[in-house]
Amino acid sequence: MSNNNLLDDLLGAKPSNRPSSAPQPPASPKPAKDPAFYEQQYKLWKQCCDKNEYGEGLSYLKKAAEGDYPPALEDMAWQLYKGSLLPNDRDKAEDYARRGAVQGDEGCQLWLGQILREKKQYAEALEWFIKSAEQGQGWAACLAGEMYENGEGVPKDIQKAIYWYKVSAKTTNAYGEDARKALDRLGVQLFEGGDYMEQVLSVQIEPDRSLDDLYYDGRSWTDLHLPEQLASLIAAANNGHGAAAEELSNILTSDDAKTYGFYSQEASDHYLKLAKENYLKQGEAGDGEAYADLASLIGDENPALAEQYLQKGAALGSQSAQLHLGKKLRERGDFVNALQWLEKSAQQGQGWAALLVGEMYEQGQGTKKDIQRAKYWYQVSVDSQNYYGRFAQEHLDRLENEPDNSGSGLGNITGKLEDLNDTLSDLGDTISSGLKSLFGKLKR
């Protein structure tokens, strides 16, 4: 179906039936004399924006807009609409927005729709919102939904409102959240029945994407409203990524899974098993962190085997494995080996490990008590900006406020000298008493 036919269906009228008062777009966009020049002027404007030098960059923006460069027309329409850098002028804003809209720029179509909606030219406003929304502009889709819900310029149509709210809600645009709230208000789920999983399975995964890229793509959204998230995690998990399989296991029994209709304990158990297998394969391939993750996953069900995996991960240089192995050994009282692994982890920047090393030096666990070294490791923990750094700072503050018990303080030296003088005085009295007794015996 063409865009025009879709608009006919949604508006219930042919474009030729638009009210005669609605301005007609020009037959063709104004040709640019030198597109490369105008594009360069726009880049200079954006560079000024990056430096917060908006006033200096405004001349570049105006030159780019003079050449009908669509992104510049969009920015000019925005500035004139909001009245921030330029005086508020909705008529000029409409002119710039229209020049970009007829070239197909989704941002200009959005702003043109906004301006026309304010002017109560609803039919044309909705037309531009839909054109913009069809290019993926989530805000425009949300506004189209509002117009259908409120019956602005068209018969009130909740089903069409729901359709456009769903389009908006499935985008990454910030206004997608408003669309999801509108759907909640209307008592409609974003995905119904098997609709969500059908979309997940229809996602085309790029063949050259790495497993780590797929994993992080899957984790990049705040929730699961985009099927691409779940599809990326499934692709990563099915191809050997342990963390992706573990996260999938958790997701499959989450509230999101209930909301979108794919809750499954059986599938969760499958991916938990797959996570263990994937971690083991990654560990055997030399990934020490994978061994640490595997140990964490099986720690409750098989502590002895988990410790073996920590040993392997620590030997491969995994700071996480070294940390958790050191913690276990310390709890067991094997302070010498615990300190060895914790210090290795701390040397790699692990803030929690540095905190524990500091405590061991302060308490003399597995080493001679050394307050200066304790302070050093506490500071390493603080500098790591790890969550545990705040506890290390508390230890540092406490040590700074406590009397120096190391024997190097002036107060301690004075006290020790006084004790020594007392001892010598007592010794002198003893010697004097002994000599007197000896001379008394000689005299007799």
Give residue 32's pLDDT.
45
Q: Judge whether 320 lies within some domain.
A: yes
Indicate whether 334 and 278 sit together in one domain: no
Pairwise CA distance, residues 269 & 257, whole Å: 14
How many residues belong to the chain? 444
pLDDT of residue 96: 93
- The rounded distance, in Å, linking the Cα atoms of 226 and 230 is 8
Same domain for 323 and 390, yes or no, is yes
Question: Distance (Å, rounded) from C-alpha 103 to C-alpha 347?
Answer: 58
3 Cα distance to chain centroid: 37
How far is CA 136 from each of CA 106, 133, 159, 359, rounded to the nearest angstrom? Answer: 8, 5, 20, 55
116 inside domain = yes
| Same-domain status, 110 and 148 | yes
Judge whether residue 220 has pLDDT over 70: no
| pLDDT of 223 over the 70 cut | no
Q: Helices 138-150 and 176-185, interaxial angle, to 10°?
A: 30
Q: Assess whether 158 and 10 both reside in one domain.
A: yes
User: Which helix or strand (DSSP H or E) is residue 276 part of?
Assistant: helix 265-284
Of 285, 320, 348, the residue that ends a domain is 285
Structure confidence at residue 226 (pLDDT): 75
Q: Between residues 437 and 247, which one has the greater pLDDT?
A: 247
Average pLDDT, the chain: 83
The pLDDT assigned to 396 comes to 94
Mean pLDDT of the 156-169 span? 93
Residue of 281 and 1 predicted with greater confidence: 281
| Residue 258: count of CB within 10 angstroms of its CB | 10
The residue segments making up the domain with residue 128 are 3-185
How far apart CA 261 and CA 248 sit, in angstroms, is: 15
- For residue 105, pLDDT over 80 is answered with yes
Q: Are 246 and 271 contacting, i.e. CB atoms less than 8 angstroms apart?
A: yes
How much is the CA Rg of the chain, to the nearest whole Å?
36
Domain's final residue, options 255, 285, 315: 285
Would you say residue 409 lies in a domain? no
Kindly report the CA angle at 214 between 134 and 306, in degrees rounded to 5?
150
* The token pair that represents 143 in the structure block: 């506004």
CA 2 to chain centroid? 39
Assess if residue 65 is contained within a domain: yes
Structure-model confidence comparison of residues 169 and 18, the more confident one: 169
124 phi-psi bin (left φ>0, alpha ψ -120 to 50, beta other): alpha
For residue 421, pLDDT over 60 is answered with: no
DSSP string, 406-430: SS-SHHHHHHHHHHHHHHHHHHHHH
| Same domain as 223, residue 181 | no
Three-state secondary-structure class, residue 182: helix
417 pLDDT exceeds 60?
Answer: no
Q: Which of 407, 424, 427, 404 is nearest to 416 (CA)?
A: 407
**Same structural domain, 29 and 170:** yes
> What's the CATH number where 385 sits?
1.25.40.10
Q: Average pLDDT for residues 76-99, to the nearest whole number? A: 88
CA dihedral 290, 293, 299, 303 (to 10 degrees): 30
The helix/strand count (H/E) of the chain reads as 24, 0
**pLDDT in the model for residue 8:** 33
First to last CA, the chain: 137
Q: Looking at the predicted structure, is the pLDDT value of residue 316 above 90? A: yes
Q: State mean pLDDT over 300-309.
A: 96
> pLDDT by residue (tens digit) across 383-401?
998 899 999 999 999 998 8
DSSP letters, 305-346, are HHHHHHHHHHHTT-HHHHHHHHHHHHHHT-HHHHHHHHHHHH
Handedness of CA 57, 61, 62, 63 (dihedral sign): positive
- What pLDDT does 128 receive? 96
Question: Which pLDDT score, from 0 to 100, does residue 199 have?
Answer: 82
pLDDT score, position 111: 93
Residue 222 in 3-state DSSP? coil
Question: What is the pLDDT, as a whole number, of residue 171?
Answer: 79
Alpha-carbon span 330 to 337, nearest angstrom: 8
Give residue-wise pLDDT tens across range 320-364: 999 999 999 999 999 999 999 999 999 999 999 999 999 999 999
- Per the model's pLDDT, the better-predicted residue between 26 and 168 turns out to be 168
Average pLDDT over every residue of 218-232: 76
Residue 407, C-beta contacts closer than 8 angstroms, at least 6 positions apart: 413, 416
Lowest-confidence segment of 111-115, 229-233, 297-301 by average pLDDT: 229-233
Same domain, 333 and 299: yes
CA distance 211 to 241: 6
**Are residues 220 and 241 in contact, defined by beta-carbon separation less than 8 angstroms?**
no
pLDDT tens-digit series, residues 9-68: 322 333 333 333 444 555 445 444 678 898 898 999 889 888 888 888 888 999 988 999
pLDDT confidence bin for 407, thresholds 50/70/90: very low
Residue-level pLDDT at 271: 94
pLDDT band, very low/low/confident/very high, at 414 (cuts 50, 70, 90): very low
- Domain end among 285, 310, 325: 285
Position 422 scores a pLDDT of 56
8 A C-beta contact, residue 77 and residue 110: no
Residue 14 lies in a domain: yes
Percent pLDDT > 70 in the chain is 81
Q: pTM value?
A: 0.55
Band of residue 428 on the pLDDT scale cut at 50, 70, 90: low
The total domain count for the chain is 3
Q: Are residues 148 and 32 in the same domain?
A: yes
